[in-house]
């Protein structure tokens, strides 16, 4: 079974964390919440609370099979952390899964992993995704090499389906 890092900070979109997280665990995968500090409480926009399992400075890409980046306000905070961006870059260099929904691709932009790939996202960051070199597609889910992207909570079933398919 796969070991997947969920990158989390305050302000995440609750369902975009909860639904993929629970689906991966139900499928037998190991879901590890990674944030700025170990044991940090992260609060969602609608009240969900998760505690980080590991600090990003303590994780290695070789220990994981991929990352999931829930949307909401969290990606804006996550993208300025150098350790987190280095981790995502290493995951990409190893051609492992990077899945981002809604604002999640903001982290992908900062890690410079979108160049030449197809991607979708929340409409408000569409231009940023294009400027990062991606071919923007307004579709519920876009799979491009090791990247999986989706737009909004209504796209979660397709997002989850493709993550599970990629992890096998």
103 is catalytic: yes
pLDDT at position 96: 98
Could you give the number of structural domains in the chain? 1
Options 29, 42, 102, 121, the catalytic residue? 102
- Edge-to-edge strand order for the sheet containing 66-69? 54-55, 30-35, 3-7, 66-69, 97-101, 147-150, 141-144
What integer pLDDT is reported at residue 147 of this predicted model? 98
> Which residue among the candidates 29, 42, 103, 121 is catalytic per the annotation?
103
Distance CA 148, CA 70 (A): 12
What is the pLDDT tens value at each position of the chain, 168 positions in all?
A: 999 999 999 999 999 999 999 999 999 999 999 999 999 999 999 999 999 999 999 999 999 999 999 999 999 999 999 999 999 999 999 999 999 999 999 999 999 999 999 999 999 999 999 999 999 999 999 999 999 999 999 999 999 999 999 999
Assign residue 60 the CATH number of its domain.
Answer: 3.40.50.880
User: What is the residue range of 55's domain?
Assistant: 3-167
pLDDT at 4: 98
């Amino acid at each position: 079974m796969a070991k997947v890092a969920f990158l989390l900070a305050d302000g995440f979109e609750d369902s975009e964390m909860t639904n993929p997280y629970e689906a991966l665990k139900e499928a037998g995968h190991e879901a590890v919440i990674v944030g700025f500090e170990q044991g940090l409480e992260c609060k969602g926009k609608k009240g969900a609370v998760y505690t980080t399992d590991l600090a990003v400075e303590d994780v290695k890409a070789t220990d994981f099979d991929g990352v999931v980046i829930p949307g909401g306000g969290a990606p804006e905070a996550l993208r300025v952390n150098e350790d987190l961006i280095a981790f995502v870059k290493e995951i990409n260099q190893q051609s492992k899964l990077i899945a981002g929904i809604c604002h999640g691709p903001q982290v992908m932009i900062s890690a410079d992993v979108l160049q030449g790939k197809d991607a979708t996202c929340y409409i408000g960051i569409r231009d940023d995704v294009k400027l990062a070199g991606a071919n923007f597609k307004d579709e519920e889910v876009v799979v491009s090499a090791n990247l999986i992207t989706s737009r909004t909570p209504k796209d979660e079933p397709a997002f989850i389906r493709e993550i599970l398919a990629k992890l096998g």
